[in-house]
Amino acid sequence: MTASFKPGKLDPHEWETIQQHTIWGEELLEGGEHFALARRIARWHHENWDGSGYPDRVSEEEIPFEARLVRIVDVYDALRSERSYKPAWSEDEVLEELRRLRGAHFDPELTDLFLALRGA
- Residues 6 or more apart in contact with residue 107 via CB below 8 angstroms: 49, 60, 63, 68, 69, 71, 72
pTM: 0.87
Provide, rounded to the nearest whole percent, the portion of the chain with pLDDT above 70.
95
pLDDT in tens, 97-118: 999 999 999 999 999 999 999 9
Classify 106 as helix, strand or coil: strand
Region 78-82 average pLDDT: 97
Is the confidence at residue 9, as pLDDT, over 90?
Answer: no
Residue-level length of the chain: 120
Instruction: State how far the Cα of 41 lies from the Cα of 46, in Å rounded to an integer.
Output: 9
Please give the full DSSP string across 32-67, using - where no structure is assigned.
Answer: SGGGHHHHHHHHHTT--TTS--SSS---GGGS-HHH
Find out if CATH 1.10.3210.10 is the number for domain 10-117: yes
Enumerate the domain spans of the chain. Answer: 10-117
Instruction: State how far the Cα of 118 lies from the Cα of 113, in Å rounded to an integer.
Output: 9
Instruction: State how far the Cα of 89 lies from the Cα of 71, in Å rounded to an integer.
Output: 17
pLDDT in tens, 60-71: 999 999 999 999
